[in-house]
Amino acid sequence: MKDTTRHQGKRRQLVQILKDKGITNSLVLKAIGKIPRHFFMDSSFEHHAYQDKAFPIAADQTISQPYTVAFQSELLEIEKGHNVLEIGTGSGYQTAVLCELGGKVYSIERQQELYKKTKLFLTKLGYRPRYLSFGDGYKGLPEYAPFDSIIVTAGAPYVPKPLLAQLKIGGKLVIPVGDDPQIMHRYIRTSATSFEKKEYGEFRFVPLLEDKN
Ligand code: SAH
């Protein structure tokens, strides 16, 4: 795996594309400018790694589109040291972005093949998420709750109650909800029993499936 000047140049162009599409958070842009996305993809797609598109990874899943990664990351408003939970580790690219933003990152993946592969790979790249879990994201990770931020990177038919319950007061859940396409939602927990909800337009994700595989 090599990160050549050509790759770096293409990455700078990708960052510009994201800025043109409205991403403003400089830490998010910096993370995307730093992480070699082509390392997270199959070698057959490597040449396309810096296009603003989703691509297939193992187990019939996808690495999210960079704009989607940036948009969700921006909505989370992560601060250094925040407890962050990701549902859908997949390739680990979004996990790496969350680590670059300074989060203490927990991530759940339901496909064993991806879980094993990505766990080894992130370590190899030098990323140190707090905990990678092979399990069902619908349940969250109650043993590590509460979280400042929870990000769901697969399309959810509904908002899983355990995820709302595992937010701190002031914590944020960013989740695409619905069938194809999904509507991006952000929930902010305003008290023990209340949440503020806002919608952020259409996105397309692979489905959030129940149980592990
Ligand atoms: N963040 C990933 C996105 C991968 S696609 C990336 O940037 O590469 C969504 C991922 O969610 C897939 O890997 C899929 O297996 C996983 N997934 C789907 N349902 C899940 C569930 N209930 N719990 C945990 N992971 C799930």
Instruction: DSSP for 105-166, please give it.
Output: EEEEES-HHHHHHHHHHHHHHT---SEEEES-GGG--GGG--EEEEEE-SBBSS--HHHHHT
Q: How far is the CA of 5 from the centre of ligand 1 (A)?
A: 31
Question: What is the residue with the minimal CA distance to atom 5 of ligand 1?
Answer: 62
Across residues 189-202, what is the average pLDDT?
A: 97
Distance CA 64, CA 186 (A): 18
Kindly state the tokens that stand for 161.
């109650």
Asked if 194 is an active-site residue, the reply is no
- DSSP-derived letter for residue 12 is H
d(C-alpha 44, C-alpha 85), whole Å: 30
Q: Number of C-alpha atoms within 13 angstroms, CB side, residue 28? A: 21
Question: Over pLDDT 90: what percentage of the chain?
Answer: 92
Please write down the HEC assignment for all residues of 37-69.
Answer: HHHHCCHHHHHHCCCCCCEECCCCCEECCHHHH
pLDDT higher than 80, residue 212:
no
pLDDT of residue 158: 97
- pLDDT at residue 126 above 90? yes
* Nearest alpha carbon, ligand 1 atom 17: 88
Cβ < 6 A, ligand 1 pocket: 61-64, 87-88, 90-91, 93-94, 108-111, 114, 136-138, 153-154, 206, 208-209
- pLDDT in the model for residue 47: 86
Q: Yes or no: say if 172 and 192 are a contact pair by the CB < 8 Å rule.
A: no
CA atoms in the 13 A half-sphere facing the CB of 118: 30
CA distance 107 to 118: 11
Asked whether residue 127 carries a pLDDT value surpassing 80, the answer given is yes
62, 67, 76, 84: which to mutate for ligand 1, most atoms within 8 A of CB? Answer: 62
Chain segment 22-72, per-residue pLDDT in tens: 999 999 999 999 999 999 998 888 889 999 999 999 888 999 999 999 999
> What domains appear along the chain, each with residue ranges and CATH number?
5-203 (3.40.50.150)
Nearest to 99 by CA among 122, 117, 74: 122
pLDDT tens-digit map of 81-114? 999 999 999 999 999 999 999 999 999 999 999 9
Q: What is the pTM of this model?
A: 0.97
d(CA 4, CA 104): 29
